[in-house]
Amino acid sequence: MSKRDNFFVVGLFACSLSLFAIASYAQVGPGQLVRCENFAFSTEEDFISMGPEPPDGNPMMYAGDLLASHPTAVCARNEDLLLIFDIVNKDDLGLDAADVIDVDGYIVAFSTEIDSPNNGQTVPQFTAGDLLITNGVVIRNAELTFKFSIPYDIGLDAVHFIGETQTIVAVLEFFRTQGVPTGLAFSQELARLGIDIWFSIEGTFSPSEPLIQILDGDLLSARDGVIVAKQIDLFPASVPAGIPQRGVDFGLDAATADRRGDVATFEFSPEILFDKEPLFIDGDALRYGQSAHMPNDFLIRGFETVTSEVGLDALSGTLDVLFADGVETGNVMRWSSSVP
């Protein structure tokens, strides 16, 4: 059996070893990641929590931390996620995207707000546009955007893996040991292995065709090189989303869905607010087509912070799990009449 055919078993075994190594150094501890197994998020702003005390005793919640909601918890500090990249005791690098893939193996995919501070090398260790994995893998921005013919690092604002969890874990371990394919080979490998990476970018890109634009509010597929969900489709018709049709790009700051790639389960956060009906702010979590809306203050309520809005920079898991667990919401979740 070849290395390529056998990488699934190797990947799962290696993940258990990496978890053991992380346990010795993590600020919050790898055991806390389980609290984010079903739903997790990060904020755009730092804030002080007056609620449950985190394991490290620090009441500050930073924009680079991975948080859980209902029950409230700090699942990972920014330093925990970046530990394998030898970035410790540095400033918080932010958490611009996050996908909690495997809590037992401590496998989280994420991106930062700023480039790596370890710039003593010829090139930076990673940029804010690269996709990082807690097993040490760096998927360059150029690989994610290759099929869109974007010739520069355009940033990374949201990310979500599609496929069977066990397969995703094994693929990421294969990338760790054998290297990440580059150029067209990267998307071909994703297709061969049956996974995809949905993501959004930080800026608008106009290819050579004058009538085609890729917005930072579009959801893209790294494997297929297509727009999975256009900005205009994310919102109901009453929201002027989409360029040039309606005139506004609300951005796509965070994105999540189920692992099957069902767009109807897609949930996201915009970058700017809308002050008409249906009202939403840039820290709210919205459902595809605006069939559901969860305000930012509900997500952070358990932290008992004095503020009601701290933004929303990353989402992992679906909002439905909060209600499946019997969370009392009252009128917090507002439903529209249209269901996609």
Q: Are 105 and 84 in contact (CB under 8 A)?
A: no
CA distances from 98 to 49, 113, 157 (A): 21, 12, 9
Which pLDDT score, from 0 to 100, does residue 16 have?
A: 44
- Please report whether residue 337 resides in a domain: no
- Please report whether residue 300 resides in a domain: yes
E strands, 122-241, are 131-133, 138-139, 158-162, 196-200, 219-221, 227-229
CA distances from 216 to 126, 158, 164, 197, 200 (A): 21, 10, 27, 16, 6
Which pLDDT score, from 0 to 100, does residue 293 have?
A: 78
- Please report whether residue 150 resides in a domain: yes
> pTM to 2 decimals?
0.87
Distance CA(179)–CA(292), nearest Å, equals 40
Burial bucket for residue 74 (CB in 10 Å: 0-12, 13-18, 19+): buried
Distance CA(29)–CA(25), nearest Å, equals 8
Beta bridge partners of 256: 267
Number of domains in the chain: 1
- Please report whether residue 1 resides in a domain: no
Beta bridge partners of 67: 41, 74
What are the backbone dihedrals phi and psi of residue 263, each rounded to the nearest 5 degrees, phi first? -60, -30
- Please report whether residue 332 resides in a domain: no
- Please report whether residue 340 resides in a domain: no
Which pLDDT score, from 0 to 100, does residue 80 have?
A: 95
- Please report whether residue 245 resides in a domain: yes
Which pLDDT score, from 0 to 100, does residue 90 have?
A: 73
Find the angle CA(206)-CA(209)-CA(211) to the nearest 5 degrees.
Answer: 75
Which pLDDT score, from 0 to 100, does residue 88 have?
A: 72
Which pLDDT score, from 0 to 100, does residue 268 have?
A: 93
Digitized pLDDT (tens) for each residue of the chain, 340 residues in all: 444 445 444 444 444 444 434 443 458 989 999 999 999 999 999 999 999 889 999 999 999 999 998 889 999 999 999 999 988 767 899 999 999 999 999 999 999 999 998 865 656 689 999 999 999 999 999 999 999 999 999 999 999 999 999 999 999 999 999 999 999 999 999 999 999 999 999 988 987 665 568 989 999 999 999 999 999 888 888 888 888 777 788 889 999 999 998 888 899 999 888 888 888 888 899 988 766 778 899 899 999 998 889 999 999 998 776 655 444 444 344 433 333 3
Domain that holds residue 186: 7-323
